[in-house]
Structure 1
Amino acid sequence: MTAVKENIKRILEERAFLWENQGKALADIANLREFTAEERVKFEAVEADFGAFGQRIKALELSLDQERQINEFAALFQNDNTVRTAVETELRSVLSLREKSEVDFSFTGKEMTRALATGTAGAGGNLIPATFWDMLIQPLRNFVSVLNAGATQITTASGENITIPRVSSYGAAAAQVEATQLTGSDPAFDQTTLKAFKFGDFRDVSRELIDDSAIDIEGLITKLIGQNIGLLLGQKLSTGTGINQTAGIVTASTVGVTGATGVSGAATFDNIIDLFYSIGAPYRGNGSWIIADQALGGIRKLKDSTGRYLWEPSVVFGAPDLILGRPVFGDPNMAAPAIGAKPILFGDISAYWVRFVNSLRIERSDQALFGTDQVAFRGVLRADGLLTDPSAVKTFQGGAS
């Protein structure tokens, strides 16, 4: 575990070194003039390197979490070999999906990861390592930015609608005249509803492929189902329309700042400052940035009048990058900078609630496709999200050209 942490620290330092020695110089040029062809190639290479660093850090963080979970599990039974052996046998049967027809994986982040079947070469021992990233938790962490940024998560046992009362306006005091009746305006209330939309994926695999393959086909299919559901959930919680589907946090948020005319949708330094202060102080202190992946390159170039860059790359294990002292999370689902697009969001993300019904189910059936001698796999998740306080989160919208 120590070695993994040291490796993450080394990668963070390499990323910071790349920014200081190449990224800043190129960003300085971009603030003065258009890139030459050679400079454009260099800048794109630096951006690609930043992306690669980010993926390596995510991989190591998941590996670290997996190692921690395994150690915690082993510690529970360190004094009883008989119990430990029995529980490990049952756990392996569940995680391999070979002896259980249904396996539930919740989103608490404490699940054991599934080990690949490496006991024999035919089960995949020749091709893949003993363990790999958690097949179902990994997609959520990678694809659902609002969860990483601190959205409030609740889990219910059933999927009925949840009606949430909320204050739509807080009322106001009024200036008073001596010896007259006190006045003021009353607060107003409305309601919002958390539903339970279904997300699913289905795969059918021939019996021959499962029995004869040199790799763990079951593990691969389960991983793909988890990724597909994670991708879809991330998209809907980010930019879902709210019409017969989840209202994503970008869709539900009001526009706090509109870009200047003549910038063609890109945010300026002043736009970022204005968006930051468009949020009330209580929310601002707990705020986070969610920024479209395609907008991050432009944000890295922004600096104040003293030449200090807004973007601060992290060099601390487990700490995100910062803008104006608040954490930054990339989102692949948000729109790229463009006229009318909303590529940047800031605010207290805990005001966005994500509701799960029970947990993600990954199921296998040997009987459903009996006539074609195929094995069926399916994944099902019921979830929804809503913004409980519209004043807590706001977006930047690209201005006209």
Structure 2
Amino acid sequence: MSSIEIKSAGAPIVDDLNRAFSTFKEANDERLAQIETRMSADVVTEEKLARIDQALDETKSRLDRLALDLARPRIGGAAPEEHGAREHKSAFNHYMRSGEAGGLKALEAKAMSGASGPDGGYLVPVPAEREILRRLAKLSPIRAIASVREISTQTLRRAYSTTGPAAGWVAETDARPQTANQQIADMTFPAMELYAMPAATQALLDDSVVDIEQWIADEVQVAFSEQEGAAFVSGDGVNKPKGFLSYTTVADTSWSWGNIGYVATGVSGAFPATNPSDVLFNLVYALRAGYRQNGKWVMGRRTQSLIRQFKTTTGDYIWAPPENANGLASLINFPIVEAEDMPDPGANSLSIAFGDFERGYIVVDRVGIRVLRDPYSAKPYVLFYTTKRVGGGVQNFEAIKLLKLGVS
């Protein structure tokens, strides 16, 4: 399907989503009216609302898949390659199909590469590596909104001012008084090894029509994105990135550097029965204005399903569907990023995050994705042990706030 066909196909899906949400609002208004007059909603109305809500999720999923297809060009459509890149691509292709590694050994020895070899695999060509990373940015929700840095060493080390820059105003000829001492945090973000092991038949590898680089990208993208998505949210930092939910959390009124602040709903496992949307507004304004301008919501599907029912005191729904195939649903006019690794609503769950994730969370990619061909472990299939090194963690503790479904 061409990009023009995909874009035109997105319009009816957006229309379907808008129609479904209009029906959802009517059913929810009916449910609220029943509660107001009878103190409880009709079972038929509740079931109808649940069906419409499920249809909304399914339509949004169709839109997400379409957006991903739209952003997935063929690797072969890249710009003309330099001679060295073409040579590497040819040698890599030969290794993947037949296991002959002589060409890659010579090339990587000439490049003085210490990151690969017979035991650790061989580096994939640069266009394939870029394509895998680009696809991950589409599939991995936190990577898509975080700051991403490439490094050539094992660890990214940064110094960050926890008190803001030391500065002051002076006239041209005035003496420069000493400003308050800066408080500097030394932060390290090590890159951990992430792997996937796609399998292929020899018949597939013998087929000259099959684009091997494209096949590798297709096979590893989902495995990598699922592992990354879970780690960036709740990883414990042991042999994996540290997720933003794994840091110490404190009530926002007691926030200090090194902790993530939260706003409590005041009800265990739920939102307040009256004006539940107020706590979401409180969360938005818990974030400083400089971060709020680029604020994004992060939550799972079940949480999003719950807040679709919320209104402001003027009766307006605070959730809105995306406006186009590449768009995001919004909540209080801030975009929603759906991350299924966020906790479902429950007692004291941290089910919603809001913040400027580009400034708050950093993803570290070590340059080089490696592939080791293994034709022995799963005969008659050929396994391709594919590894990349990635790390992550919170780099600015002011830029992310959480909503806790708890009393305090």
Q: How do residues 2-401 of structure 1 correspond to structure 2 at under 5 angstroms?
A: 2-20=4-22, 22-31=23-32, 33=35, 35-67=41-73, 94=93, 97-98=96-97, 102=122, 104=124, 111=131, 138=135, 141-142=138-139, 144-148=140-144, 150-159=145-154, 161-170=155-164, 186-202=181-197, 223=218, 225-243=220-238, 245-252=240-247, 254-261=260-267, 264-266=269-271, 268-351=276-359, 352-366=361-375, 369=377, 375-400=382-407
**Cα distance between partner residues in 2 of 1:278 and 1:313:** 25
What is the deviation of 1:188? Answer: 1.5
Structure 2 vs 1, CA of residues 359 and 162 (structure 1 numbering), >3 Å: closer, same or farther? same
**2:387 aligned partner, one-letter code:** V
Q: Structure 2 unaligned runs (5+)?
A: 102-121, 168-176, 248-258
Is the contact made by 1:156 and 1:355 (CA closer than 8 Å) also made in structure 2? yes
Structure 2 vs 1, CA of residues 310 and 72 (structure 1 numbering), >3 Å: closer, same or farther? same
Is the contact made by 1:279 and 1:393 (CA closer than 8 Å) also made in structure 2? yes
**Cα distance between partner residues in 1 of 2:298 and 2:400:** 10
What is the deviation of 1:187? Answer: 3.2
**1:104 aligned partner, one-letter code:** V
Provide the alpha-carbon RMSD of the alignment.
4.0
- 1:157-202, CA deviations, whole angstroms, 9 ceiling, x for partnerless residues? 232x2221112234999xxxxxxxx998533222111101112234
Structure 2 vs 1, CA of residues 152 and 328 (structure 1 numbering), >3 Å: closer, same or farther? same
**Cα distance between partner residues in 2 of 1:209 and 1:186:** 64
**How many percent of aligned residue pairs carry the same amino acid?**
19
Is the contact made by 1:106 and 1:358 (CA closer than 8 Å) also made in structure 2? no
Q: Which moved more, 1:61-70 or 1:201-210?
A: 201-210
Is the contact made by 1:259 and 1:396 (CA closer than 8 Å) also made in structure 2? yes
- 1:325-379, CA deviations, whole angstroms, 9 ceiling, x for partnerless residues? 221111100101112111111110112110011144344233x549x66523212
- 1:132-161, CA deviations, whole angstroms, 9 ceiling, x for partnerless residues? xx8x8656533x21122x2111111232x2
**Cα distance between partner residues in 2 of 1:218 and 1:300:** 42
**Cα distance between partner residues in 2 of 1:95 and 1:393:** 47
**Matching residue of 1:129:** none
**Cα distance between partner residues in 2 of 1:308 and 1:241:** 40
What is the deviation of 1:294? Answer: 1.5
**Cα distance between partner residues in 2 of 1:40 and 1:355:** 45
How many aligned positions are there?
351
Q: TM-score, normalised by structure 2?
A: 0.73
Structure 2 vs 1, CA of residues 60 and 348 (structure 1 numbering), >3 Å: closer, same or farther? same
**Cα distance between partner residues in 2 of 1:269 and 1:187:** 39
For the residue of structure 2 that corresponds to 1:38, the secondary structure is helix
- 1:206-234, CA deviations, whole angstroms, 9 ceiling, x for partnerless residues? 8699899xx99999897554422321111
Is the contact made by 1:93 and 1:99 (CA closer than 8 Å) also made in structure 2? no
What is the deviation of 1:389? Answer: 0.9
Structure 2 vs 1, CA of residues 11 and 205 (structure 1 numbering), >3 Å: closer, same or farther? closer
- 1:82-109, CA deviations, whole angstroms, 9 ceiling, x for partnerless residues? x9xxx7xx68984994257656377999
**Cα distance between partner residues in 2 of 1:98 and 1:44:** 50
**1:228 aligned partner, one-letter code:** A
What is the deviation of 1:239? Answer: 1.2
Q: TM-score, normalised by structure 1?
A: 0.74
Is the contact made by 2:199 and 2:384 (CA closer than 8 Å) also made in structure 1? yes
Structure 2 vs 1, CA of residues 244 and 375 (structure 1 numbering), >3 Å: closer, same or farther? closer
Q: Structure 1 unaligned runs (5+)?
A: 78-82, 112-133, 174-181
